[in-house]
Amino acid sequence: MLKADLHIHTTASDGKLTPTEIVSQVLKTDLEVIAITDHDTIAGVEEAQQAARGTSLRVVQGAEVSTLFEGRECHLLAYAFKDAGIMHELLKNQKNRRIKRAQSIIGNLNKLGFDISYDEVRGEAGQASIGRPHIARVMIKKGYASDLQEVFFRYLGNDSSAYHKIDYPDISEAISMVHRAGGVTVLAHPGDSVNFTALKKMKEYGLDGIECYHPSHNTSHQRRYLDYCHNYDLLPTGGSDFHGMVQDNNHLGVIHIPLDPDTPLLKTLETTLASTTETN
């Protein structure tokens, strides 16, 4: 069995550690396979693969793509895509949507009396794909809140006062584009937000798998989604959703999925794994 964490974020999106630092942290664990899955970008993958060269660690390319399912935000993990051009087309549009959403949220915060600018948020994000956590960090630095949880609960969450809905692509469109790129699609951390009727519809769209193991999932969630994968021929995956924050430090190397060398998932990823290990 190979021990794999297929959901990790870096500074390419809203993580706190660079791809190189992520690899350094992972090498202190017994993980053997990881996937870099930054929000709506693949910018951190190549650096992580370079950092892993000369080690036994295998790095799978991935991204966490923001989509809409029946009007509500839904995240899709995309792995092992072969046509980077198609993925860049999808993710470029996502980047522009994120910029417009951030500007709208900042405008809403200004109306609520908060002194915060887009330039401050852009500076916080650096070269990363901009997201709500970058806005939250600026608000914390300026003393408007004590932590991320408070900012999201009071101002930035989906049902909060400054939230602005973003026009993400429908999940069916995103699944189609990832498949055109030769990749695999997995529903990220469904928790209690997705019922089996919705999952059935997603499978009709071409969904390949479900993230069964995740910090937000209890044993009941895990069992439910593992059973669904088994019964409906979907790939079970899992990961720590690691962002490098204090609160999730204990997830890296702990929340993972065992990969049997003969499982469909590993066979699906084997092209990417081979391209990484050949240079080790």
What does the pLDDT look like over 131-177, one tens digit per residue? 898 999 999 999 999 988 899 999 998 888 898 888 889 999 999 99
Give the helix ranges, DSSP H, for 128-278. 132-141, 148-151, 171-180, 196-205, 219-232, 264-277
Q: For residue 279, what pLDDT band results from cuts at 50, 70 and 90?
A: very low
E strands present in the chain: 2-8, 33-36, 58-69, 72-79, 184-187, 209-213, 235-238, 257-259
Please calculate the CA angle 187-188-190 and round it to the nearest 5 degrees: 85
Supply the pLDDT for residue 157.
86
Nearest 10 degrees: Cα torsion 130, 48, 50, 256: -160
| Low-confidence winner among 103-117, 210-224, 250-264 (lowest mean pLDDT) | 250-264
- CATH 3.20.20.140 placement within the chain: 2-91+174-277
Supply the pLDDT for residue 127.
80
Q: For residue 93, what pLDDT band results from cuts at 50, 70 and 90?
A: confident
pLDDT at 244 over 90: no
> Which residues make Cβ contacts (< 8 Å) with residue 42, sequence separation at least 6?
12, 36, 61, 62, 63, 84, 87, 88, 91
Q: Are 39 and 70 in contact (CB under 8 A)?
A: no
Write down the CATH number for the domain with range 99-156: 1.10.150.650
- CATH 1.10.150.650 placement within the chain: 99-156
Architecture of the domain delimited by 2-91+174-277: Alpha-Beta Barrel (3.20)
Q: For residue 83, what pLDDT band results from cuts at 50, 70 and 90?
A: confident
Q: For residue 38, what pLDDT band results from cuts at 50, 70 and 90?
A: very high
Supply the pLDDT for residue 91.
86
Predicted model pTM: 0.83
Supply the pLDDT for residue 226.
94
